[in-house]
């Protein structure tokens, strides 16, 4: 490691240094609370590292790692079906390329803004590092809402979005994928426009269709991976998912395949939700009911409340903004798999989960727990799998899709699933062992943050001041 070329740190103790960086992040990036939250969570874990490794402080790694390498922000004009002009805002955050090309999803949701995408890109850097594959971190998207839009409107939007983005991305530069609001349909439209503009058929996006460069298991990977991770967590306490009652939030890609894999492991998922409300099905969401949900969400693009009309014992609880908690997290269960969106588990929700005896929380969504909720889980000593480790299976399998594209080969379903499973076991082992090594056994938040950080920070030291 060549750390000696930089100026000495302005502050002395690691604690002061971290506090100083955090205050600067808040001052320089006002009105980005999600970004502050993600940075704070990582930096707090790094206290333990900086005490042992002053070289990161002398090389000002923290100031550098919180600053995106590049931020792109652009206008996305498009015509709706009535011929009216619509204008959205597009983004791509190229956060860190120390260990590989930028890699991370695109989110299309009305809540998207710069701060949300910066938090996601920052998380992605550490997550990608944990996967054992060579991928840097990025994230992008738009405040476009695909809900209620026709296929033609979604296509026109995607084409306009890619008309700007294509010049910034590439199979060895930056490889976007899906996220909230961006599934197979959107990736198809984006890929088609990229190919037309670049005149190249390359693995520039992941999550592609099987006939044109996609990987088997990529759609399933985040949900499957999260359940593999949960199974490893339970094994560390000589327990298993067999017979466990499970709460799952959301009803999109991650939730659907979390439920499918939970069923494979003999668990009983009893909830599912969308932004309009929560379904509680005491009979359990079995394979037949899951197939019905997939058809509802992926084909008909309907609302989850219809589940209660179709299956008789199921209860629908509409979203009530006046309520101080989410009723989904107040149902007695063994395990919780938040799989919808950021900060969906507040301190009150975490208190309810712990009070009801939850044994495990494995995060399918990105940063679904607030800082206070995370602290409550850690203090309660339950098994807590933070997002950047537990949901890394999606991007890991994107990495496997890139490997297949580079070699122009296609692996079987079993081969990809086996690699995914081994990667999730390796991520758990790395987080578990790192937590122990740094004096906080069982704390997978510290384990994930530190293990993810070390690889990236060392690469940054090796590559000099860039
Ligand atoms: P989808 O768009 O497929 O599904 C999102 C689900 O979450 C929908 O049911 C949606 O309901 C619900 N949801 C979204 N926003 C809100 C909100 N503000 N309040 C309540 N419910 C909400 O997205 P994914 O399943 O792909 O992503 C879910 C989470 O997993 C995100 O945090 C994403 O970043 C994370 N993730 C996804 C990966 C992937 O491979 N897809 C990889 C790693 C993490 P509604 O339809 O009503 O909006």
Domains of the chain, first to last: 2-66 (no CATH), 70-202 (3.40.50.10860), 221-390 (3.40.50.720)
Q: What share of the chain is helix, strand, coil (3-state, %, to 5)?
A: 50, 15, 35
Q: Is 178 in the pocket of ligand 1 (CB under 6 A)?
A: yes
Ligand 1 atom 3, closest CA: 252
Contacts 24+ apart (CB under 8 A), 110-114: 110/143, 110/144, 110/145, 111/143, 112/141, 112/142, 112/143, 113/143, 114/32, 114/71, 114/73
Token match 């409550």: residue?
376
Relative to the CA of 221, which ligand 1 atom is closest? 40
Q: How far is CA 440 from CA 49, 108, 368, 392, in A?
A: 12, 38, 22, 22
Q: Is 43 in the pocket of ligand 1 (CB under 6 A)?
A: no
CA of 398 to the centre of ligand 1 (A): 18
CB 384, CB 358: distance < 8 Å: no
Q: Is 180 in the pocket of ligand 1 (CB under 6 A)?
A: yes
169: its two tokens: 């991305």
| Length in residues, the chain | 466
Q: How many CB atoms lie within 10 A of CB 27?
A: 8
Q: State residue 48's pLDDT score.
A: 87
Q: What is the CA radius of gyration of the chain?
A: 21
Consecutive H or E run containing 406? helix 393-407
Tens place of pLDDT for every residue, the chain, 466 residues? 444 344 444 567 999 999 999 999 999 999 999 999 999 999 999 998 999 999 999 999 999 999 999 999 999 999 999 999 999 999 999 999 999 999 999 999 999 999 999 999 999 999 999 999 999 999 999 999 999 999 999 999 999 999 999 999 999 999 999 999 999 999 999 999 999 999 999 999 999 999 999 999 999 999 999 999 999 999 999 999 999 999 999 999 999 999 999 999 999 999 999 999 999 999 999 999 999 999 999 999 999 999 999 999 999 999 999 999 999 999 999 999 999 999 999 999 999 999 999 999 999 999 999 999 999 999 999 999 999 999 999 999 999 999 999 999 999 999 999 999 999 999 999 999 999 999 999 999 999 999 999 999 999 999 999 9
Q: Is 104 in the pocket of ligand 1 (CB under 6 A)?
A: no
Q: What is the layout of strands, in order, in the sheet containing 137-142?
A: 70-79, 85-96, 137-142, 102-108, 174-177
Pairing of strands 174-177, 137-142: unpaired
CB 390, CB 413: distance < 8 Å: no
Q: State residue 3's pLDDT score.
A: 43
CA of 10 to the centre of ligand 1 (A): 41
Sign of CA dihedral 422, 293, 177, 219: positive
337: CB partners within 8 A, 6+ apart: 226, 227, 230, 246, 247, 248, 249, 255, 258, 262, 361, 362, 363, 364
Q: Is 339 in the pocket of ligand 1 (CB under 6 A)?
A: yes
Relative to the CA of 254, which ligand 1 atom is closest? 25
CA of 256 to the centre of ligand 1 (A): 11
Ligand 1 atom 40, closest CA: 394
CA of 18 to the centre of ligand 1 (A): 32
Distance CA 184, CA 177 (A): 10
Q: Name the residue of 185, 275, 325 whose CB sits within 8 Å of the most ligand 1 atoms, as the mutation to test its pocket.
A: 275
Ligand 1 atom 4, closest CA: 252
Q: How far is CA 4 from CA 190, 423, 447, in A?
A: 44, 35, 27
Burial of 144 (0-12, 13-18, 19+ CB in 10 A): buried
CB 178, CB 106: distance < 8 Å: yes
Relative to the CA of 127, which ligand 1 atom is closest? 43
CA of 144 to the centre of ligand 1 (A): 15
Q: What are the φ/ψ torsions at residue 134 (nearest 5 degrees)?
A: -95, 85
Q: What pTM was computed for the model?
A: 0.96
> Has 12 been annotated as catalytic?
no
Q: How many CB atoms lie within 10 A of CB 401?
A: 27
> Which residue among 103, 118, 127, 139 is the active-site one?
139
Q: Is 222 in the pocket of ligand 1 (CB under 6 A)?
A: yes
Pick the closest to residue 448 from 115, 72, 440, 243 (CA basis): 440
CB 191, CB 177: distance < 8 Å: no
Pairing of strands 85-96, 137-142: antiparallel
Q: Is 249 in the pocket of ligand 1 (CB under 6 A)?
A: no
Which neighbouring-strand residues pair with 269?
246
Q: Is 179 in the pocket of ligand 1 (CB under 6 A)?
A: yes
Distance CA 310, CA 314 (A): 9
Ligand 1 atom 48, closest CA: 275
């Amino acid at each position: 490691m060549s750390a000696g070329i930089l100026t000495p740190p302005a502050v002395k103790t690691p604690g002061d240094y971290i506090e100083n960086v955090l205050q600067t992040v808040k001052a320089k990036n006002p009105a980005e609370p999600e970004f502050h939250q993600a940075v704070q969570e990582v930096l707090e874990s790094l206290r333990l590292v900086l005490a042992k490794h002053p070289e990161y402080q002398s090389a000002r790694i923290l100031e550098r790692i919180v600053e995106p390498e590049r931020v792109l922000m652009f206008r996305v004009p498009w015509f709706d079906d009535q011929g009216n002009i619509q204008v959205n805002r597009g983004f791509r955050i190229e956060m860190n390329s120390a260990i590989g090309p930028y890699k991370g999803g695109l989110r299309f949701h009305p809540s998207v803004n710069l701060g949300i995408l910066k938090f996601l890109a920052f998380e992605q850097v550490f997550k990608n590092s944990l996967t054992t594959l060579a991928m840097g971190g990025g994230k992008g998207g738009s405040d476009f809402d695909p809900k209620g839009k026709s296929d033609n409107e979604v296509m026109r939007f995607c084409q306009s979005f890619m008309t700007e983005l294509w010049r910034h991305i590439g199979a060895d530069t930056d490889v976007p994928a899906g996220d909230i609001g961006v599934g197979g349909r959107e990736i198809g439209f984006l890929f088609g426009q990229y190919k037309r503009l670049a005149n190249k058929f390359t693995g520039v996006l992941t999550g592609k269709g099987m006939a044109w460069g996609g990987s088997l298991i990529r759609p399933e990977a985040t949900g499957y991976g999260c359940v593999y991770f949960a199974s490893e967590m339970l094994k560390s306490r000589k327990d298993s998912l067999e017979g466990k009652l499970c709460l799952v939030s959301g009803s999109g890609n991650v939730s659907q395949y979390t439920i499918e894999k939970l069923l494979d492991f003999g668990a009983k998922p009893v909830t599912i939700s969308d932004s309009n409300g929560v379904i509680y099905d005491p009979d359990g969401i079995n394979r037949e009911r899951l197939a019905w949900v997939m058809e509802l969400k992926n084909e008909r693009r309907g609302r989850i409340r219809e589940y209660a009309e179709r299956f008789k014992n199921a209860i629908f609880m509409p979203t009530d903004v006046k309520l101080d908690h989410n009723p989904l997290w107040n149902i007695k269960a063994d395990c919780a798999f938040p799989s919808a969106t950021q900060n969906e588990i507040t301190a009150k929700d975490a208190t309810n989960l712990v009070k009801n005896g939850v044994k495990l929380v494995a995060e399918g969504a990105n940063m679904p727990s607030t800082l206070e909720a995370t602290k409550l889980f850690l203090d309660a000593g339950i098994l807590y799998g933070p997002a950047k480790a537990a949901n890394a299976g999606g991007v890991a399998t994107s990495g496997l899709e890139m490997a297949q594209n580079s070699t122009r080969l296609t692996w079987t379903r079993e081969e990809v699933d086996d690699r995914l499973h081994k990667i999730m076991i390796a991520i758990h082992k790395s987080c578990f062992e790192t937590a122990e090594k740094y004096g906080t056994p069982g704390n997978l938040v510290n384990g994930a943050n530190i293990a993810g950080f070390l690889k990236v920070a060392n690469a940054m030291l090796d590559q000099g001041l860039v």
